[in-house]
Amino acid sequence: MKGNVLMVQGCASSVGKSLIVAGLCRVFRRRGLSVAPFKAQNLALNSYVTADGHEIGRAQAVQAEAAGIEATVEMNPLLLKPESDAGFQAVVMGKPVSKAEARELFEDRSRLSALVLDSLERLRAKHDLVLIEGAGSPAEINLRERDVANMHIARKANAPVLLVGDIDRGGVFAHLVGTLALLAPEDRARVIGMIINKFRGDPRLLTSGVKELERITELAVLGVLPHIPNLKIAEEDSAPLDEAKRSSRASVGQLDIAIVRFPYLSNFDDFLPLEREPGVVVRYVELDSELNSPDLVILPGTKNTRGDLRWLRESGLADRVLERAKEGRSTLGICGGYQMLGHSIEDLLGVEGRAGTEAGLGLLPVKTCFRETKVSRRVSLRIAPSSNSPFTAGLPASVSISGYELHMGELQLEPEANALFVHESDKNPEGVQRGSVVGTLVHGLFENEELRTGLLNRLRGLATPRPLASSEPRGLHSELDRVADALEANLDMARIQSLVGS
């Protein structure tokens, strides 16, 4: 027997579809259902590696966590990762394909449709309910004939649709009415209710507008969801970082961690565990004038390492990173950021555009050579016996550290390189340290509590005049519960539950 389906679509990108699906996963799990998320096609730079080494959108991994199940590749069969203003890497069923293969696939809508529907059917065979997330807006009339992620899926799966609008952006009534007006009649008939998201203030102020909206559309507003402040759940893209950049300022006694916001910044969900920590301010910087004097600078992952390295130099931030190294100030590079800290990045195959070699910052004794094959795997690490970095100081050798690798570049360590970790599986070195500068290919390190706590305590000892008050940081599960609680309190869940036949 196939599981039921319910679809959440939005008037635009970043209106809160991913978060609402995650919240509904948690709500229905609480109600005793076996539930799974699904998104046919994702355009995102935040990604996740499944247990069997497949790459999917990070949002679907968070939704799976909310549902209490292991993330699988079927939850996101198509992932598009922007590499430039006009190009992207296509990840199909968890593995990257060549640009020629991607072009052929995306020009054949029937083949594309069969691929995503097969993934959906496999999930429906295993679960009571599959919550489907749309992509962008279903009202992109220029893309209607090529759509496989919105109304096409709703029709094929016979899914009822909830339409979400973001009131925080302004114009939510026009967005909802306009979206419905641009849908084909058979697609509009699939929309069974609307949700107004991210409202700040007294919802009674919306009463007259909601009544008029319902009169015009002949559809019910099934709830007005409040803006949930300081929510620390991974986002699909970097748009929410604009608000974080404006609002984040370290006060006296707080740790100040500055993350370089590359144009093609990826996997910035690495830093959510730091953001959840009390007494820690995480901010994103794009100009050397914004850097000031943080306790730690992080060069994060990027989908265009060579291009973002050129940008780093042009912005003036490269010079500041070099100055910090001379002063013995802490700097961490992760994945692409690690590659930038080495001597060179060689891309003779043109993996990231035009073939060539880029000089790195020369702070770590490694060089990078890009390969055609992408490394996508989970890893378990131990502290290297020779490690003397502040990043790992004081941690016992017995501590097991988990994370994942996701990169095209292969790193070659020079003989004098001092390893940070070793892989538990084969004892090969991972990561490099030199003085106050550290680099690693591994994402997700800050999810490891002992490593994260040890690093922050060492930074506090160097940077703050007095101990900080400690409290338990909010973890992902408590954040997901906050979302689920908000949905339970503000949505017509009886009506929504009736739509899925449970």
Number of Cβ atoms within 10 Å of the Cβ of 249: 10
pLDDT category at 318 given cuts 50, 70, 90 is very high
Asked if residue 104 has pLDDT above 80, the reply is yes
- Check residue 240 and give its pLDDT: 57
- Check residue 418 and give its pLDDT: 87
- Check residue 133 and give its pLDDT: 98
- Check residue 83 and give its pLDDT: 78
pLDDT in tens, 134-171: 999 999 988 888 899 999 999 999 999 999 999 998 89
- Check residue 249 and give its pLDDT: 64
Top-confidence range, 32-46, 413-427, 470-484: 32-46
Q: Are strands 255-260 and 280-285 parallel, antiparallel or unpaired?
A: parallel
Closest among 254, 182, 198 to 465, alpha carbons compared? 254
pLDDT category at 250 given cuts 50, 70, 90 is low
Question: Catalytic residue numbers?
Answer: 335, 443
113-117, 138-142, 215-219, 238-242: least confidently modelled range: 238-242
pLDDT category at 466 given cuts 50, 70, 90 is very low
Asked if residue 404 has pLDDT above 60, the reply is yes
pLDDT, mean of residues 61-87: 91
pLDDT category at 351 given cuts 50, 70, 90 is confident
Asked if residue 190 has pLDDT above 90, the reply is yes
Asked if residue 55 has pLDDT above 90, the reply is yes
pLDDT category at 468 given cuts 50, 70, 90 is very low
pLDDT in tens, 357-403: 999 999 999 999 998 888 899 999 998 887 777 778 777 778 899 99
- Check residue 282 and give its pLDDT: 94
- Check residue 103 and give its pLDDT: 87
Distance CA 479, CA 440 (A): 28
Q: Are strands 161-166 and 4-10 parallel, antiparallel or unpaired?
A: parallel
Phi, psi of 488, deg, nearest 5: -60, -35
| Cβ(161)–Cβ(140) below 8 Å | no
Residue 117 tokens read as: 């529907």
**Terminal CA-to-CA distance of the chain, rounded, Å?**
14
User: From residue 233, how far is each of 192, 395, 465 by CA, in Å?
Assistant: 28, 28, 31
Top-confidence range, 42-51, 120-129, 408-417: 120-129
Find tokens 């996701």 and name the residue: 406
2 or 484, which is more confident? 484
337-341, 342-346, 427-431, 498-502: least confidently modelled range: 498-502
Closest among 384, 494, 475, 496 to 438, alpha carbons compared? 384
- Check residue 459 and give its pLDDT: 87
pLDDT in tens, 278-300: 899 999 999 988 999 999 999 99
Asked if residue 72 has pLDDT above 90, the reply is yes
Q: What share of the chain has pLDDT > 70, as a percent?
A: 93
| Cβ(460)–Cβ(255) below 8 Å | yes
User: From residue 422, how far is each of 53, 181, 355, 431 by CA, in Å?
Assistant: 20, 58, 32, 8
Please, what are the domains in the chain?
A: 4-43+59-72+126-231+479-499 (3.40.50.300), 241-463 (3.40.50.880)
Q: Left, alpha or beta for 250 (phi > 0: left; psi -120 to 50: alpha)?
A: beta
Asked if residue 247 has pLDDT above 60, the reply is no
User: DSSP letter string over 110-165?
Assistant: HHHHHHHHHHHHHHHHH-SEEEEE--S-TT-TTSGGG-SSSHHHHHHHT--EEEEE
pLDDT in tens, 193-225: 999 999 998 888 899 999 999 999 999 999 999
Asked if residue 236 has pLDDT above 70, the reply is no
Number of Cβ atoms within 10 Å of the Cβ of 283: 22
Specify the 3-state DSSP secondary structure of 189. coil
Specify the 3-state DSSP secondary structure of 306. helix
Residue 195 tokens read as: 């949700």
> What order do you get walking across the sheet with 41-43 strand by strand?
41-43, 78-82, 88-92, 95-96
Give me the half-sphere count of Cα atoms (radius 13 Å) on the Cβ side of residue 330: 20
Q: 411: part of which helix (H) or strand (E)?
A: strand 401-413
Instruction: Report the chain's mean pLDDT, rounded to a whole number.
Output: 90
pLDDT category at 230 given cuts 50, 70, 90 is confident
- Check residue 462 and give its pLDDT: 52
| Cβ(464)–Cβ(280) below 8 Å | no
Asked if residue 27 has pLDDT above 60, the reply is yes
Top-confidence range, 187-191, 198-202, 409-413: 187-191
- Check residue 470 and give its pLDDT: 45
pLDDT category at 476 given cuts 50, 70, 90 is confident
